[in-house]
Structure 1
Amino acid sequence: MPTVAQIAALLEQLAPPRLAEEWDNVGLLVGNGNREVKKLMTCLTVTPVSAAEAVEAGADLVVSHHPIPFIATKRLTAESTSGRLLLELIAARVAVYSAHTAFDSSGEGINQRLAEGLGLHGIVPLTPHPEGQGTGRWGWLGEPIPLEELAGRLKRFLGIERLQMAGRPDQPVRTVAIGCGAADELLGAARENGCDAMVLGEARFHTCLEAEAAGVGLLLPGHFASERFAVERLAESIGGRFPEVEVWASRSERDPLRWG
């Protein structure tokens, strides 16, 4: 059986830590690198629900997109939610690896995969990273299509029924920018590259106003939906490399937001 360290090495190939933002917390965050891995679960976020699933299923390693702890931790107690989750995972000897913004920027990562899923050509980073690849993606469609048609394509790829849209439904779109999760700071780069539309996981109200004023159509499927699909793809990639390991994407993880 492979060890935690061996699987971590694969993850570092898929999403080199050098691509992570300076503020981020990536890599092996919890656990012993020498421990053998028989069961592995991927998830978007370590929550009480996904942590319980991992523990109950006997997972040896959890690969989460969002890190836990997210920021430097001076105290590890049950007084905080993250503290309770970490103590629960440590007690069950479950290791945790997170790639987060390294995976966002990677050529094998979330933004790249969504851009490919929408059928974009000539895909390149919105803001290139000096170490290679970079933040966000943008590319062009073979033929211009209405914004609402691009929205339908996005919904089908992500398996969702609705999303938020800013801009005219009939607005013609040829060039598209991608920023999964919370990445509305990339709107400026999308405008500089002349993009007609942009897909963001979520966006602030004033970002939507700015996009509308600039004539950039916005599609907002939600933070969870814009990233969750990649968790399932990552499970397939790891399972393909280590077929002896039981690998699955969390079956209990859900978007915390509901339509009322």
Structure 2
Amino acid sequence: MKREYKNNDIFHVIENWAPKHLAYEWDNVGLQIGSYNKTVKKVMITLDVLESVVDEAIEKNIDLIIAHHPLLFNPVKRINLDTPQGRIIHKLLTNQITVYAAHTNLDAANGGVNDMLCDLLGIASREILTEVSSQKLYKIAVYVPTTHVDQVRSAMSENGAGHIGNYSHCTFQTNGQGTFKPLEGAAPYIGAENELEFVDEIKIETIVKEERITKVINGIIGAHPYEEVAYDIFPLKNQGETFGIGRIGTLSATMKLRDLCEHVKSTLDVPNMRVIGDLDKRVRKIAILGGSGEKYIHLARQKGADVYITGDMSFHVAQDAWQMGLPVIDAGHNIEKVMKQATKLFLEKELNKDWIEIITSETSTEPFQFI
């Protein structure tokens, strides 16, 4: 039987990759306009939600637009149909098109926008440029009668517990004996009211990420036969996964800055760019941050970058980089369009392509021309 996807099903898939809590406080990610529960058959990925993009979505019968840059940043005080924003909102609502944004959370996610740029440019051995958050880890232990060990262990793993590196379903089990006395009003699965019961049980222990704890506990309770489930949660000092904005890594070989510029232009489809520094300087260690990354020039320099690739450098910050001897390639904000194809491939891998169609927008949202 063919499965029916709702918008919220797609949102969950994206948020498993780029959790919303990774977004900066000033950002506005997630549902922008539309419905969580509307059936979706056709999705379009775009960098920006401009009126021309919405017109494309209408023409192609799109149900859901997934954008990198949010349509709505600030509170909307009025919807004036004589303004571009008003017309966009009107068209989206009239045509029942939902808009969802994954912005700085997709920048910070592992495998997100900055890793996409590194993959294309051949930047390897990379690290996070500036950390946004570090994952907290917990140990969860639950006591289960021997008859239900497989069901409870599976429920824990299926809800996200037990992941260590490239391994899943990691648990440890200990045999023991549990005791309990059902009091008046209880409805015990095993035992009788006011009688002490001894039960052979197994203690299942595993590791769980903070954001998965509620789902894991709900899974345990759903699979466990007892009326009252006994479990423990312990905070761990183990280092969890770290997330951050920007990357710094190395090319396979050194090259002149002018050759790197040509490499960036051809690989990222950038017709022209601004460059700071000696074009004959040889570079290998690269810091990169898609979008506007000018406030991180000092960090890039501090971490030993030979050159910094980003967008939207303002005049005085560019002078600061120049004076400190940090070459900068301002490739423009539009290089983040790499997220379109990469997000399409990610969703196709996670979803059944026979049941949902995913395309990338063909509309350019680059506002600048070079003459």
TM-score w.r.t. length of structure 1: 0.94
Offset at residue 253 of structure 1 (A): 2.5
Taking only aligned residues, the RMSD between alpha carbons, in angstroms, comes to: 1.5
Equivalent residue, structure 1, for 2:252: 142
Offset at residue 19 of structure 1 (A): 0.8
Offset at residue 17 of structure 1 (A): 0.7
Offset at residue 79 of structure 1 (A): 4.7
Separation of aligned partners in 2, 1:228 and 1:259: 19
Largest Rg, 1 or 2 = 2
Provide the secondary structure at the position in 1 that maps to 2:133: coil
Work out whether 1:233 is the aligned partner of 2:342: yes
Contact 2:32 2:71 in 1 (8 A): yes
Separation of aligned partners in 1, 2:350 and 2:8: 14
Equivalent residue, structure 2, for 1:210: 320
Contact 1:200 1:221 in 2 (8 A): yes
Of the three residues 305, 311, 336, the one matched with 1:201 is 311
Provide the secondary structure at the position in 2 that maps to 1:32: coil
- Which residue identity lines up with residue 26 of structure 2 in the other structure? W
Q: Which has the higher strand share?
A: 2
Equivalent residue, structure 2, for 1:49: 52
Of the three residues 60, 67, 71, the one matched with 1:68 is 71
Of the three residues 21, 25, 29, the one matched with 2:28 is 25
Written as runs of structure 1 = structure 2, the 5 A alignment for 1:184-195 is: 184-195=294-305
Written as runs of structure 1 = structure 2, the 5 A alignment for 1:77-88 is: 77-88=80-91
Structure 1 residues not aligned, in runs of 5+: none
Offset at residue 88 of structure 1 (A): 1.3
1:19-60 deviation per Cα after TM superposition (whole angstroms, max 9, x unaligned): 101000001121111111111111111111001111121110
Offset at residue 240 of structure 1 (A): 3.1
Offset at residue 160 of structure 1 (A): 2.9
* Identity rate, percent: 31
Separation of aligned partners in 1, 2:252 and 2:57: 43
After TM superposition, which residue ranges in structure 1, 4 or more long, deviate above 4 angstroms? none
**Which deviates more from structure 2 when the two are superposed, residues 128-137 or residues 11-20?**
128-137
Equivalent residue, structure 2, for 1:251: 362
Contact 2:70 2:103 in 1 (8 A): yes
Offset at residue 116 of structure 1 (A): 2.3
Provide the secondary structure at the position in 2 that maps to 1:7: helix
- Which residue identity lines up with residue 304 of structure 2 in the other structure? G
**Which deviates more from structure 2 when the two are superposed, residues 90-99 or residues 209-218?**
209-218
**Which deviates more from structure 2 when the two are superposed, residues 231-240 or residues 243-252?**
231-240
How many residues are paired up?
259
Offset at residue 180 of structure 1 (A): 0.9
Contact 1:42 1:234 in 2 (8 A): yes
Separation of aligned partners in 2, 1:66 and 1:32: 19
Separation of aligned partners in 1, 2:79 and 2:271: 40
- Which residue identity lines up with residue 368 of structure 2 in the other structure? L
Equivalent residue, structure 1, for 2:147: none
Of the three residues 117, 120, 127, the one matched with 2:120 is 117
Equivalent residue, structure 1, for 2:105: 102
Equivalent residue, structure 2, for 1:126: 129
Equivalent residue, structure 2, for 1:9: 12
Contact 2:256 2:279 in 1 (8 A): yes
Structure 2 residues not aligned, in runs of 5+: 135-241
Provide the secondary structure at the position in 1 that maps to 2:280: coil
Offset at residue 184 of structure 1 (A): 0.8
Provide the secondary structure at the position in 2 that maps to 1:126: strand
Contact 2:276 2:318 in 1 (8 A): yes
- Which residue identity lines up with residue 321 of structure 2 in the other structure? A
Contact 1:197 1:218 in 2 (8 A): yes
Q: Which has the higher helix share?
A: 1
